[in-house]
């Protein structure tokens, strides 16, 4: 398999995982947060920012573990 196909496959899998996490968040975590912190979390921009930050961190951590170490030292 070529390097390009490996990269595309990796990002497709990461996107799938991010979608599963987003679905889980929307169905379970968000209602719980709205029940326990109703005033703060009614602002949509806060929820979007938290979800985006969390998903980005997850994807970067996965990428860091999957990618091989670079031997280039500058």
Three-state SS for 34-57 is HHHCCCHHHCHHHHHHHHHHHHHH
Number of domains in the chain: 1
- Its pTM stands at 0.46
Kindly state whether residue 71 falls inside one of the protein's structural domains. Answer: no
> Can you read off the two tokens belonging to residue 73?
């030292």
* Main-chain phi, psi angles of 69, to 5 degrees: -65, 145
Kindly state whether residue 21 falls inside one of the protein's structural domains. Answer: yes
Residue 1 — pLDDT band, cuts 50, 70, 90?
low
Kindly state whether residue 16 falls inside one of the protein's structural domains. Answer: yes
**Which tens digits make up the pLDDT trace of 16-70?**
988 888 888 888 887 887 788 777 666 777 778 878 888 888 888 888 888 887 7
Which residues fall within 8 angstroms of residue 59, CB to CB, at 6 or more apart?
14, 17, 18
């Amino acid at each position: 398999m070529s390097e390009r196909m490996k990269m595309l496959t990796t990002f497709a899998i990461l996107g799938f995982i991010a979608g599963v996490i987003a679905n889980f968040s929307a169905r379970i975590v968000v209602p719980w947060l709205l029940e326990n912190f109703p005033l703060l979390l009614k602002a949509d921009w806060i929820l979007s920012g938290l979800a985006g930050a969390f998903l980005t961190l997850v994807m970067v951590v996965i990428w860091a573990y999957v990618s091989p170490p670079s031997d280039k030292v500058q």
